[in-house]
């Protein structure tokens, strides 16, 4: 099919002012009557021809202004309803459709999950419910009436505030009406019905309004919703204090469901969540799960202003709501927890997920200009790089300028379907800044490379810093322009404090921000009294790759002294990465890799620095992953050589740190009763990281400590930490522990996902056969995306040596699985396929096998648009 292009955007020919939806729920034949008040958009209407889109939609009848239309008056297919001669004034269209929610395995539109009814409409799911102008620039006021058998669905929910409800006399049925006064696009519509448990609370807004809060979940899991409720109330307060944004309806509802294609959905007043981002208690959730629940609850809540009150004009503007809302949730979590630790975690995610996308065949701008299937554009580039672009805007404008721009954006565009141009204009108008060059961050794909070189002239007391930027070619974009990139920096003097400089030329420098705008700039700092060590890109102030000619001694010095915690972490990572890249080459060439003493010294320094928070020390002690090293090497990648080099390095670090590891591990034991706060979580993170390094040394004492850690754990973080160490080290002791873990949690699907993930992550030859067996295990279900991602997604996305087996069996397995899943759930299938995105960077043998597997998928007739789009672009 023809692609959709940004440049072809046209305002809709008609608009819809009000929508009345009347659902009569039935597991296999739900009946929906949709009554739409439609108005031609005078300038755009094409002489009375109305086209509404559908998707596998089954039409029963159409009426215009109350009169049933004869079949000759309209033309209907499952994907289109055309009425040729509609009035040129306001008219009412009534459409009856029949929906089979039980047959809906795509989990888009109206579907069933654990016996309940649920909808998912973003991006294009509403058209699977009724024919509609299913595009985000058509904003309507919705009233929803739901009718169902009382025993089957005692709970009936939709967007907005609750209205009338009651029994239907003489039947076993009841009904409820919901009204949402805020005009919204169809992708924000939601309806949920079923038999659910609930917890309730309330929130008083900054202007004193009472809001009722409810979280629904499967019966029996109510106790696991309390942390989510707490996170919701903290999010509501934070948006008031940090952005001046208040909640606007009388009620805010979250529903946790177990079958969901993504993390959660921000439907107005009725957020629907993948239950893994709601449910948490100490026995079943890790500290990472708690942090994720907090972050996702906040993210969806923040969409109420950035996404719902101001929505997107078209799907090319997706980053307008997603990048901005990710930035907002990251800031929220930074305020709730440790800012440096959160920043390191976010940068790690960006580098692990977005950098490979930006450097491979699926690269696209933060605001794409063309797509075939919009579901495939909910990407790390739109979300995470989109958030980085907003962060840079704040760095460039300063906190006050940023807040002024946000306030103007909210004032100007409340109730609008807006664009990136609108967003940037608000900041330019509020501050007077020229953002024309900065706007390239939205348009140019690819991770910029910045090469830095410093030179100190002691006689002249001058430090010269040359910065050269280049943006690599990406699909469809061969030539790029230099971008406006904010570089936070400091010049570290011999005593570890930043050195002052008295004048600067060659670039605009404001405070600690250097504005890089040209392809190459030499910045001259005067009055510099001693040779500095440059600390560039503090806090990772721009999503770039920085190459800097800096010695191991200077990196060790930086790791010990930099006043910016992010760059202390970065200095250690750079030392480790250099070791791993050289070591991988050594292994591939049959040489035995050596380990840089400066690295062990840097790690020792961080580990024993009691002024550093434990979570930060834990982050720093974790070496770059195998995938990180593969990305750094970038071509002819041999995953086995990388794994061997990493194993060797961790062994050497363990030996280098010696008994300190065991002593510090012992000192951290016995932390008292579990609480999920960041301080306690940091302590557990450090203890688990130390255990993992101890086991890397391979001693019996360490393995015994790991087994003991597993058996005596009184919370999931510690239990899973030890189990993960045993599994990732592929120790023979692992299987008994994995089996014990499975038996303990045999009735808890979300915990069994952790088990499936570990089973799939074992770096051993037998893992692929084990996965094939587990596909038939009662704890696995191909219909549930969480199960699929846990077993198959973890294998393809995280088990570098086994997915990339030299015989190609890992690729063949994924191809077969994707082909099978594609018939049932195309979105999830297409997302799994993304694991092939770096296939061209592999060494020749694996590259050829990966290409064969991809070609086999591409050759299959009847592929979904989702999978066809990914496979085509991956092979292009």
Strand partners, 94: 35, 63
Instruction: Tell the smallest beta-carbon distance from residue 381 to ligand HT7 (Å).
Output: 14
Site for ligand HT7 in 494-533 (CB under 6 A): none
Nearer to ligand HT7, 134 or 718 (CB): 134
Please choose, out of 322-330, 556-564, 768-776, 812-820, the segment that lies near Zn ion by the rule CB under 5 A.
322-330
Cβ distance 452 to 548 under 8 Å?
yes
| Closest C-alpha among 698, 648, 711, 617 to residue 344 | 617
Nearer to ligand HT7, 159 or 395 (CB): 159
Instruction: Tell the smallest beta-carbon distance from residue 809 to Zn ion (Å).
Output: 37
Per-residue interface string for the shown chain with ligand HT7, residues 820-859, x marking contact by CB under 6 A: -------x--------------------------------
Instruction: Tell the smallest beta-carbon distance from residue 245 to ligand HT7 (Å).
Output: 16
Instruction: Tell the smallest beta-carbon distance from residue 1 to ligand HT7 (Å).
Output: 19
| Closest C-alpha among 144, 32, 146, 35 to residue 98 | 32
Residue 265 interacting partner from Zn ion, ligand HT7, none (CB closer than 5 to 8 Å by kind): ligand HT7
Residue 120 interacting partner from ligand HT7, Zn ion, none (CB closer than 5 to 8 Å by kind): ligand HT7
Among 22, 122, 294, 638, which residue sits at the site for ligand HT7 (rule: CB under 6 A)?
A: 122
User: Strands 58-64, 311-312: parallel, antiparallel or unpaired by DSSP?
Assistant: unpaired
Nearer to ligand HT7, 303 or 647 (CB): 303
Nearer to ligand HT7, 725 or 867 (CB): 867
587/682 Cα distance (integer angstroms)? 35
| Closest C-alpha among 670, 657, 637, 650 to residue 595 | 650
Instruction: Tell the smallest beta-carbon distance from residue 319 to Zn ion (Å).
Output: 10
Which residue, judged by CB position, is nearest to ligand HT7 in the bound state?
262
3-state helix, strand, coil in the chain (%, to 5): 45, 20, 35
Instruction: Tell the smallest beta-carbon distance from residue 322 to ligand HT7 (Å).
Output: 5
Return phi, psi of residue 58, to 5°: -110, 115
Tokens of 282: 């100490």
Site for ligand HT7 in 358-377 (CB under 6 A): 375
Nearer to ligand HT7, 145 or 353 (CB): 353
Alpha helix segments (H runs only) across 350-479? 355-358, 380, 386-413, 420-431, 440-443
The number of residues that bind ligand HT7 (CB under 6 A) is 15
Per-residue interface string for the shown chain with ligand HT7, residues 378-417, x marking contact by CB under 6 A: x---------------------------------------
Sheet arrangement for strand 58-64? 67-68, 58-64, 91-99, 30-40, 14-24, 140-149, 173-184, 161-167
Nearer to Zn ion, 378 or 441 (CB): 378
Tokens of 756: 């499936």
User: Strands 449-457, 462-470: parallel, antiparallel or unpaired by DSSP?
Assistant: antiparallel
782/788 Cα distance (integer angstroms)? 6
**Helix (H) / strand (E) containing 336:** helix 318-336
Strand partners, 197: 217
Please choose, out of 54-62, 257-265, 633-641, 838-846, the segment that lies near ligand HT7 by the rule CB under 6 A.
257-265
Residue 314 interacting partner from Zn ion, ligand HT7, none (CB closer than 5 to 8 Å by kind): none
Nearer to Zn ion, 303 or 484 (CB): 303
Instruction: Tell the smallest beta-carbon distance from residue 841 to Zn ion (Å).
Output: 30
692/680 Cα distance (integer angstroms)? 19
Cβ distance 211 to 229 under 8 Å?
no
833/714 Cα distance (integer angstroms)? 38
Per-residue interface string for the shown chain with ligand HT7, residues 283-302, x marking contact by CB under 6 A: ----------------xx--
95/326 Cα distance (integer angstroms)? 37
Nearer to ligand HT7, 266 or 613 (CB): 266
Please choose, out of 250-258, 263-271, 514-522, 771-779, the segment that lies near ligand HT7 by the rule CB under 6 A.
263-271
592 CB contacts (<8 Å, ≥6 apart)? Answer: 586, 648
302/296 Cα distance (integer angstroms)? 10
| Closest C-alpha among 230, 237, 155, 226 to residue 196 | 155
* 717-to-683, 688, 709, 721, 797 alpha-carbon distances in Å: 11, 9, 11, 6, 22
Annotate 94-146 with DSSP letters as a single string: EEEEEE-GGG--S-SEEEEETTEEEEE-TTTTGGGTS-B--STT--EEEEEEE
Instruction: Tell the smallest beta-carbon distance from residue 325 to Zn ion (Å).
Output: 5
Please choose, out of 325-333, 438-446, 520-528, 702-710, the segment that lies near Zn ion by the rule CB under 5 A.
325-333
Tokens of 165: 């409800």
User: Is residue 232 at the binding interface for ligand HT7, with CB under 6 A as the rule?
Assistant: no
Instruction: Tell the smallest beta-carbon distance from residue 107 to ligand HT7 (Å).
Output: 8
Instruction: Tell the smallest beta-carbon distance from residue 781 to ligand HT7 (Å).
Output: 19
Nearer to ligand HT7, 188 or 691 (CB): 188
Nearer to ligand HT7, 303 or 413 (CB): 303
Residues 300, 331, 596, 632: which is the catalytic one?
300
Return phi, psi of residue 288, to 5°: -65, -40
Angle at 74 between CA 69 and CA 80, to 5 degrees: 130
Site for ligand HT7 in 750-809 (CB under 6 A): none
Can you tell me whether residue 360 is helix, strand or coil? coil
Instruction: Tell the smallest beta-carbon distance from residue 441 to ligand HT7 (Å).
Output: 20
Among 141, 198, 262, 451, which residue sits at the site for ligand HT7 (rule: CB under 6 A)?
A: 262
Residue 375 interacting partner from Zn ion, ligand HT7, none (CB closer than 5 to 8 Å by kind): ligand HT7
* 245-to-239, 361, 386, 456, 514 alpha-carbon distances in Å: 5, 39, 21, 49, 32
Angle at 616 between CA 796 and CA 716, to 5 degrees: 55
Tokens of 192: 């949920």
Specify the DSSP class assigned to residue 640. Answer: H
Nearer to ligand HT7, 303 or 568 (CB): 303
Determine whether 122 is an active site residue: no
811/846 Cα distance (integer angstroms)? 9
* 809-to-47, 515, 802, 805 alpha-carbon distances in Å: 58, 49, 9, 6
Among 180, 266, 384, 388, which residue sits at the site for ligand HT7 (rule: CB under 6 A)?
A: 266
Among 322, 596, 640, 753, which residue sits at the site for ligand HT7 (rule: CB under 6 A)?
A: 322
Nearer to ligand HT7, 378 or 489 (CB): 378
Burial of 440 (0-12, 13-18, 19+ CB in 10 A): middle
User: Is residue 265 at the binding interface for ligand HT7, with CB under 6 A as the rule?
Assistant: yes
Residue 261 interacting partner from ligand HT7, Zn ion, none (CB closer than 5 to 8 Å by kind): ligand HT7
Please choose, out of 117-125, 338-346, 363-371, 790-798, the segment that lies near ligand HT7 by the rule CB under 6 A.
117-125
Among 52, 93, 110, 123, which residue sits at the site for ligand HT7 (rule: CB under 6 A)?
A: 123
Instruction: Tell the smallest beta-carbon distance from residue 368 to ligand HT7 (Å).
Output: 15
Tokens of 845: 């043998």
Strand partners, 278: none
Nearer to ligand HT7, 344 or 387 (CB): 387
Please choose, out of 115-123, 488-496, 705-713, 719-727, the segment that lies near ligand HT7 by the rule CB under 6 A.
115-123
Instruction: Tell the smallest beta-carbon distance from residue 192 to ligand HT7 (Å).
Output: 14
Tokens of 561: 């002294």
Residue 123 interacting partner from ligand HT7, Zn ion, none (CB closer than 5 to 8 Å by kind): ligand HT7
User: Is residue 144 at the binding interface for ligand HT7, with CB under 6 A as the rule?
Assistant: no
Sites of contact with Zn ion (CB under 5 A): 322, 325
Sites of contact with ligand HT7 (CB under 6 A): 120, 122-123, 261-262, 264-266, 299-300, 303, 322, 375, 378, 827
Supply the residues annotated as catalytic.
300
């Amino acid at each position: 099919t023809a692609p959709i292009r940004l440049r072809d955007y046209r305002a809709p020919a008609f608009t819809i002012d009000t929508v009345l939806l009347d659902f009569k729920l039935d597991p296999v034949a739900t009946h929906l009557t949709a009554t739409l008040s439609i108005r031609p958009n005078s300038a755009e209407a094409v002489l009375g021809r109305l086209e509404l889109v559908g998707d596998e939609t089954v039409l029963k009848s159409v009426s215009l202004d109350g009169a049933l239309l004869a079949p000759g008056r309209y033309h209907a297919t499952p994907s289109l309803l055309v009425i040729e001669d509609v009035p040129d004034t306001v008219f009412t269209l009534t459409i009856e459709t029949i929906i089979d929610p039980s047959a809906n395995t795509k989990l888009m539109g109206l579907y069933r999950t654990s016996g309940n009814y649920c909808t998912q409409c973003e991006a294009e799911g509403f058209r699977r419910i009724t024919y509609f102008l299913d595009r985000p620039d058509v904003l309507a006021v919705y009233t929803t009436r739901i009718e169902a058998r009382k025993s089957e669905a005692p709970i009936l929910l939709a967007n907005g505030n609750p209205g009338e409800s009651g029994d239907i006399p003489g039947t076993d049925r009841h009904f409820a009406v919901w009204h949402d006064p805020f005009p919204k696009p169809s992708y924000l519509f939601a309806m949920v019905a079923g038999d659910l448990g609930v917890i309730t609370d309330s929130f008083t807004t900054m202007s004193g309004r009472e809001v009722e809060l409810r979280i629904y979940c499967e019966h029996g899991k109510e106790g696991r919703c309390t942390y989510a409720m707490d996170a919701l109330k903290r999010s509501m307060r934070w948006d008031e204090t940090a952005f001046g944004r208040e909640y606007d309806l009388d009620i805010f509802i979250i529903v946790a469901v177990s079958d969901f294609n993504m993390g959660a959905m921000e439907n107005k007043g009725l957020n629907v969540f993948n239950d893994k981002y709601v449910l948490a208690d100490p026995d079943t959730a890790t500290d990472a799960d708690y942090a994720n629940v907090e972050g996702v609850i906040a993210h969806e809540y923040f969409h109420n202003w950035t996404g719902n009150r101001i929505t997107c004009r078209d799907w090319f503007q997706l980053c307008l709501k997603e990048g901005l809302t990710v930035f907002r949730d990251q800031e929220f979590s930074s305020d709730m927890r440790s800012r440096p630790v959160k920043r390191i975690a976010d940068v790690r995610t960006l580098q692990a997920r977005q950098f490979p996308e930006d450097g491979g065949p699926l690269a696209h701008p933060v605001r794409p200009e063309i797509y075939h299937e919009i579901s495939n554009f909910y990407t790390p580039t739109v979300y995470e790089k989109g958030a980085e672009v907003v962060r840079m805007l704040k760095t460039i404008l300063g906190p006050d300028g940023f807040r002024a721009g946000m306030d103007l954006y909210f004032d100007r565009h409340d109730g609008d379907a807006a664009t990136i141009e609108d967003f940037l204009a608000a900041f330019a108008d509020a501050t007077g800044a020229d953002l024309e060059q900065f706007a390239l961050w939205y348009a140019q794909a690819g991770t910029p490379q910045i090469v830095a070189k410093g030179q100190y002239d002691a006689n002249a007391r001058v430090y010269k810093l040359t910065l050269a930027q280049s943006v690599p070619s990406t699909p469809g974009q061969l030539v790029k322009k230099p971008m406006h990139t904010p570089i936070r920096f400091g010049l570290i003097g011999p005593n570890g404090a930043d050195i002052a400089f008295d004048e600067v030329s060659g670039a605009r420098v404001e405070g600690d921000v250097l504005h890089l705008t040209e392809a190459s700039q030499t910045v001259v700092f005067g009055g510099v009294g001693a040779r500095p060590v440059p600390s560039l890109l503090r806090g990772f102030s721009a999503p770039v790759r920085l190459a800097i000619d800096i010695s191991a001694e200077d990196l060790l010095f930086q790791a010990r002294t930099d006043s910016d915690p992010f760059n202390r972490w970065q200095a250690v990572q750079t030392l480790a990465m250099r070791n791993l890249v050289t070591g991988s080459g050594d292994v591939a060439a049959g040489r035995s890799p050596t380990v840089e003493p400066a690295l062990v010294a840097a790690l020792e320094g961080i580990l024993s620095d009691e002024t550093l928070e434990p979570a930060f020390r834990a982050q720093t002690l974790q070496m770059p992953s195998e995938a990180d090293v593969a990305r750094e090497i970038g071509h002819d990648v041999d995953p086995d050589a990388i794994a061997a080099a990493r194993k060797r390095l961790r062994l050497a670090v363990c030996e280098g740190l010696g008994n300190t590891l065991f002593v510090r591990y012992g000192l951290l034991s016995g932390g008292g009763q579990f609480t999920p706060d960041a301080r306690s979580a940091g302590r557990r993170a450090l203890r688990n990281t130390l255990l993992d390094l101890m086991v890397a040394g391979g001693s019996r004492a360490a393995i015994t400590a790991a087994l003991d850690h597993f058996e005596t754990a009184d919370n999931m973080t510690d239990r899973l930490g030890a189990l993960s160490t045993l599994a990732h080290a592929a120790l023979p002791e692992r299987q008994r522990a994995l089996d014990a873990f499975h038996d303990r949690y045999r009735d808890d699907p979300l915990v069994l996902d952790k088990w499936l993930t570990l089973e799939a992550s074992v770096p051993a030859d037998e893992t692929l056969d084990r996965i094939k067996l587990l596909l038939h295990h009662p704890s696995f279900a191909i219909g549930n995306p969480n199960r699929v991602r846990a077993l198959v997604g973890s294998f393809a996305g995280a088990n570098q040596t086994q997915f990339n087996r030299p015989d190609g069996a890992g690729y063949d397995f994924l191809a077969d699985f994707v082909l099978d899943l594609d018939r049932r759930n195309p979105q999830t299938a297409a997302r799994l396929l993304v694991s092939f995105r770096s296939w061209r960077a592999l060494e020749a043998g694996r590259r050829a096998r990966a290409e064969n597997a991809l070609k086999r998928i591409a050759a299959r007739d009847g592929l979904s648009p989702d999978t066809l789009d990914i496979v085509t672009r991956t092979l292009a």
